[in-house]
Chain A
Amino acid sequence: MSDKSSADILSRRKFLGAAGVAGAGVALGAKSALAEAAKPDPLITEVQDWNRYLGDGVQKTPYGMPSKFEKNVIRRDVSWLTASPESSVNFTPLHELDGIITPSGLCFERHHSGVAEINPADHRLMINGLVDKPLVFTMDDIKRMPRVNKIYFLECAANSGMEWRGAQLNGCQFTHGMVHNVMYTGVTLKTVLDEAGLKPNAKWLMLEGADAAAMNRSLPVEKALDDCLLAFGMNGEALRPEQGYPLRAVIPGWEGNLWVKWIRRIEAGDQPWQTREETSKYTDLLADGRSRKHTFIMDAKSVVTNPSPQAPLKFKGRNVLSGLAWSGRGTVKRVDVTMDGGRNWQTARIDGPVLEKSLVRFYVDFDWNGQELMIQSRAMDSTGYVQPTKDELRKVRGVNSIYHNNGIQTWLVRASGETENVEIG
């Protein structure tokens, strides 16, 4: 290890001395293979079944699934959150994933009237309102347009919303799992709008879904023409039904609710519509009783996914801290990590692609001596925005704004390695 390695810096810092939590090195259950090497390992010395007998043939699973040993890597819901599972949400298992691409089958779901089942041959997209020529497109029409491939995060406006009043849910899947990041294939929204021809007084668009909620939202025309897509593919294949098959809106960096699924209609107008999802919902109530509306952008945010309550530390010595950061305002420039509750910070190592309005993956490789840790991460984006603490956010907004909680998360790693969602003061 070089002197510059972050691990050495961390282990030398003795950051917890002042926190008064003298972990006396409690023995952990798991031991490394090296420690047990005195006795021959039967997994090596005895021939195993998979080393002797034939495995499955090539067509056993024409569409493959993960190993049965990964059966815990699933979306989970929180039944008390909502009155009905058809207007509800589930959560991406962030603590089980790595890199930046979310597997399609694990992307969190948020529906308002369940998953619409639509044969793409029956799907229509209408453009009407303030356009030169109202049009109807089939999916075949859309697939004849010039295509683009883009990787973006989609974060629900309500991600971490249950945490406004304090630590409530024990696991980053539940506190931060209303986010996913995939590669979309589709056409630019501009391509489709240009076919109809927007009139000069068209300032807003209304996007509408084909599901039973017929979800509708108003979108400023400048954003639509800037970087929005209509996507029919994700991660190289067709959209999953629960992600809007056969067609969805992609509104990079903006709150997930605007990414209308099963999109069937776009109307151009000269002012916003004030739909239910931009008045009753997705408005942010402040302490003085007034509410922000059109809070479209998702601000810079990050979370340490490992260790976390669902992924405790198992080993003393060498460990990998891993996490995700993202910003709706641009690219993630830097992620800092603290292990002593924000007293001292070090800059984490970002590995993998750093793309605009996409998740980035960060790591801190460190040695753990068994002392209690208070782990936090802090993202900075290309605009200079620095992820605030929850208390800093509460000072401006109070605790009733439901949406847009991008406050810094704290994990308490106890001497046993068990990890808890906590708030610190």
Chain B
Amino acid sequence: MSKSVKAASLALLAGAVLATAAPQVHAQQIATQAAVKTSSKLGLGRPALPEEIKAWDTDVRADGKGLPPGKGTVKQGDALFQERCASCHGEFGEGAGRWPVLAGGAGTLTADRPDKTIGSFWPDLSTAFDYIKRAMPYGNARSLTDDEVYAIVAYLLSMNDIVKDENFELSDKNFTSIKMPNATAFFDDDRETSEKQFWKKDPCMKDCRNAPKVTGRAISVDVTPDSKAGPKVD
């Protein structure tokens, strides 16, 4: 039986039950109506039009899916970056004040204070394109053309020494050939194996340890609100 025939016959059955309208068939009537409901869609919403999908679906995946046609050079990106980005991110992506640093930090991920930038940390170049296009410049998002985003990403590649030539042109054609330095350093959540020891059947309840000593106090750091200075936190 096709879906629509099935739905129609169920509707007929429901109608017949309603017509009898006897109290003893009430439960059956409810059950039949429920069956109609779960076997068909609610029929809410309307088809999304191609123009609408195009307007909102701007995301770009790591494999390049979603990249729009376009291109931009490091040089073009430099000019755009100085005009649109440098007031917060610095002329070379080094970050002004407390604003995010976009370049540098190579080899610092095992350091005491890692410098996690696009070059030192980000696994995929697509993320830079997707994020800049959807959310930057901060306070004026969605104001860059696709070519401008390509150019700015090319400039960021250059500031991170991932491309060396200032005439380098990034485009939808060569985009996925760029490999990011930290691409292979991510792995899926492994807590259930690497932290297996935290699943303890019977945690200690009595005489569990030696007399504790205070080793650190928040009041000595003194950064609780009203203080303006403090460590940097993402």
A residues touching B (Cβ–Cβ < 8 Å)? Answer: 18-20, 76-84, 86-87, 112-113, 126-129, 133-137, 141-142, 144-145, 158, 161-162, 165-171, 174, 191, 194-197, 206, 208, 212-216, 264-265, 267, 269, 271, 273-276, 279-281, 283, 285, 287-297, 299, 309, 336, 340-346, 374, 378, 380, 383-388, 392, 396, 400, 402, 412, 420-425
Chain B nearest Cβ from A380, distance in angstroms: 7
Query: Which residues of chain B are near A291, meaning CB under 8 Å?
Result: 121, 185-187
Is B231's CB under 8 angstroms from A274's CB?
Answer: no
Is A386's CB under 8 angstroms from B199's CB?
Answer: yes
In chain B, residues 85-130, which have Cβ atoms closer than 8 Å to a Cβ of chain A?
A: 88, 97-100, 109-110, 114, 116, 118, 121-124, 126-127, 130
Query: Which residues of chain A are near B207, meaning CB under 8 Å?
Result: 343-344
Q: Of the 9-residue stretches B23-31, B53-61, B151-159, B163-171, which lies at the interface with chain A?
A: B53-61
Option from A76, A162, A309 in Cβ contact (under 8 Å) with B231 = A162
Is B130's CB under 8 angstroms from A265's CB?
Answer: no
Q: Of the 9-residue stretches B1-9, B10-18, B72-80, B188-196, which lies at the interface with chain A?
A: B188-196
Option from B42, B217, B228 in Cβ contact (under 8 Å) with A420 = B217
Chain A nearest Cβ from B81, distance in angstroms: 18
The interface on chain B, measured as residues whose beta carbon lies within 8 A of the other chain's beta carbons, has a size of: 83
Is B135's CB under 8 angstroms from A424's CB?
Answer: no
SS of B interface (majority): loop
Is A145's CB under 8 angstroms from B44's CB?
Answer: yes
Option from B61, B138, B199, B221 in Cβ contact (under 8 Å) with A167 = B221
Chain B nearest Cβ from A69, distance in angstroms: 22
The verdict on A422 contacting B218 (CB below 8 Å), with A134-B47, A137-B45, A195-B42 known, is yes
> What is the bound-complex CA distance between A257 and B221, given in angstroms?
28
The verdict on A83 contacting B99 (CB below 8 Å), with A136-B46, A292-B189, A343-B211 known, is yes
Is B201's CB under 8 angstroms from A384's CB?
Answer: yes
Is B135's CB under 8 angstroms from A113's CB?
Answer: yes
> What is the bound-complex CA distance between A162 and B218, given in angstroms?
11
Is A169's CB under 8 angstroms from B218's CB?
Answer: yes
Contact with A along B33-62 (1 / 0, CB 8 A): 000000001101111100011001101111
> What is the bound-complex CA distance between A293 and B206, given in angstroms?
37
Is A425's CB under 8 angstroms from B61's CB?
Answer: no
Contact with A along B220-232 (1 / 0, CB 8 A): 0101110111110
Query: Which residues of chain A are near B233, meaning CB under 8 Å?
Result: 81-82, 158, 161-162, 402
> What is the bound-complex CA distance between A82 and B124, given in angstroms?
25
Is B161 located at the chain interface by the 8 A CB criterion?
no
> What is the bound-complex CA distance between A345 and B36, given in angstroms?
56
Is A78's CB under 8 angstroms from B57's CB?
Answer: no
Query: Which residues of chain B are near A167, meaning CB under 8 Å?
Result: 216-218, 221
Is B69 located at the chain interface by the 8 A CB criterion?
no
Task: Pick 25 A–B contacts, CB within 8 A, sort by A.
Answer: A18-B211, A79-B225, A86-B139, A113-B135, A127-B48, A133-B47, A161-B233, A161-B234, A165-B231, A174-B224, A212-B141, A214-B134, A273-B62, A274-B126, A276-B131, A291-B121, A294-B189, A296-B189, A297-B189, A336-B203, A342-B212, A385-B199, A386-B199, A421-B217, A421-B219
Query: Which residues of chain B are near A420, meaning CB under 8 Å?
Result: 217-219
Is A79's CB under 8 angstroms from B228's CB?
Answer: yes
Is B22 located at the chain interface by the 8 A CB criterion?
no
A79: nearest residue on chain B (CB-CB)?
A: B228
The verdict on A213 contacting B44 (CB below 8 Å), with A280-B121, A293-B187 known, is no
- Give me the 3 closest cross-chain CB pairs, A-B, nearest first: A341-B212, A80-B230, A421-B218
Is B223's CB under 8 angstroms from A292's CB?
Answer: no
Is B110's CB under 8 angstroms from A422's CB?
Answer: no
Option from B131, B191, B214, B218 in Cβ contact (under 8 Å) with A309 = B218
> What is the bound-complex CA distance between A182 and B189, given in angstroms?
28
Is B135's CB under 8 angstroms from A274's CB?
Answer: no
Is B45's CB under 8 angstroms from A345's CB?
Answer: no
Is B109's CB under 8 angstroms from A289's CB?
Answer: yes
> What is the bound-complex CA distance between A195 and B130, given in angstroms?
28
> What is the bound-complex CA distance between A76 and B124, given in angstroms?
36
Is B211's CB under 8 angstroms from A135's CB?
Answer: no
Query: Which residues of chain B are near A295, meaning CB under 8 Å?
Result: 189, 191
Residue with the highest number of chain A CB atoms closer than 10 Å, among B53, B207, B213, B224 = B224
Query: Which residues of chain B are near A195, meaning CB under 8 Å?
Result: 41-42, 44-45
Chain B nearest Cβ from A4, distance in angstroms: 16
Query: Which residues of chain A are near B191, meaning CB under 8 Å?
Result: 292, 295, 297, 299
